[in-house]
Structure 1
Amino acid sequence: MLYHVKMDVKIPLDMPKETADAIKATEKAYSQELQRQGKWRHLWRISGQYANISIFDVDNHEELHTILQGLPLYPYMSLEITPLNRHPSSIKEDDS
């Protein structure tokens, strides 16, 4: 199942820089491993925002929920999640 996920990150302004940097480093490693596994298909930064648009390819809602809750920045995020379905007018034979 494919999902479009918009992630807005709001790290508290009073968080020590060292703490924020450590969380971001852990987040980067976690997200890159999910990308290597093919679970996190696409990742785009939204210009001018601390936000991204991502496409996930997972088995079900529960797997997506587990992955998102595993993000080290999850406690500082607001998420918008949209399940995606193939459009009948698409000329592609797959979802790549």
Structure 2
Amino acid sequence: MEYLVTMTTRVPEGTSAAEVDAVRAREAANSRKLADQGQLLRLWRPPLQPGEWRTLGLFAAPDAARLEDILSSMPLRVWRQDEVEPLSPHPNDPGPASVDASIAAPEFLVTFVVAAPGDAPSQAREDGTTAEAVRAKELAEEGYLVRLWNAPGEGRALGLWRARDAAEMQTLLDSLPLAPWLSMETTPLSEHPNDPGLGRS
């Protein structure tokens, strides 16, 4: 099972720079170990406000208890709070085997919530869902859609995408057949120094 973890670090006042550097060095070494074991899949930085220290991580674990063991093993956990979002397979997910490590492009996380109008005919919903699956397959084959998961909450999904910039990302989202029924929140991602990357672990 895969999990998206939002990790927020707050270093206590009075902590020396040397101590911070030492913990971060141990964190980097531990991240490499977790990646080698297939437990840490990706790390990103979301947009940050001044003074914020926040990371998004994609982890794999058989269950929540094992995930907690993994997160507890990370040296920065002493200063960190974690928010865990369990992810389940989405029928339109291209799957990890489809990820092309040779493609270098900005990445985005997009949260989708499907909210079809209550008076929408059932046939229209069914047709939209079928067309959405076809379009998702096309976007995956073109290298834009990397992964897609179901997320907690009715009608929620989470997608990992690649695009040249935010404008192209929005154009791709607007091309989805279910776009009129979707509320979407896009988070641009930047590189994290400990990211196992795509095939770089």
What is the TM-score normalised by the length of structure 2?
A: 0.44
RMSD of the alignment, in Å?
A: 1.4
AA at the equivalent of 1:62 = A
Q: Deviations over 1:33-64 (max 9, x none)?
A: 11122110111012334111111011111111
AA at the equivalent of 1:81 = V
AA at the equivalent of 2:23 = I
Percentage of pairs with the same residue: 30
Residue 13 (structure 1) shift? 2.6
Q: Which residue, 78, 85, 88 being the options, matches 2:88?
A: 85
Aligned length: 94
Which of structure 1's runs of 4+ aligned residues deviate more than 4 A? Answer: none
Q: What residue ranges of structure 1 are gaps of 5+ in the alignment?
A: none
The 5-angstrom pairing of residues 54-93 of structure 1 reads 54-88=57-91, 90-92=92-94
What is the TM-score normalised by the length of structure 1?
A: 0.88
Asked if the contact 1:86–1:95 (Cα under 8 Å) also holds between the matched residues in 2, the reply is no
Q: What residue ranges of structure 2 are gaps of 5+ in the alignment?
A: 98-201
The 5-angstrom pairing of residues 10-49 of structure 1 reads 10-48=10-48, 49=52
2:82, 2:2 → 1: CA distance?
16
Q: Which residue, 32, 56, 72 being the options, matches 1:53?
A: 56
**Partner SS for 2:47:** coil
1:32, 1:95 → 2: CA distance?
19
AA at the equivalent of 1:30 = N
**More contact order relative to length (CA 8 Å, sep ≥ 6):** 1
Residue 66 (structure 1) shift? 0.5
Residue 91 (structure 1) shift? 4.8
Change (3 A) 1:66 1:47: same
**Structure of greater Rg:** 2
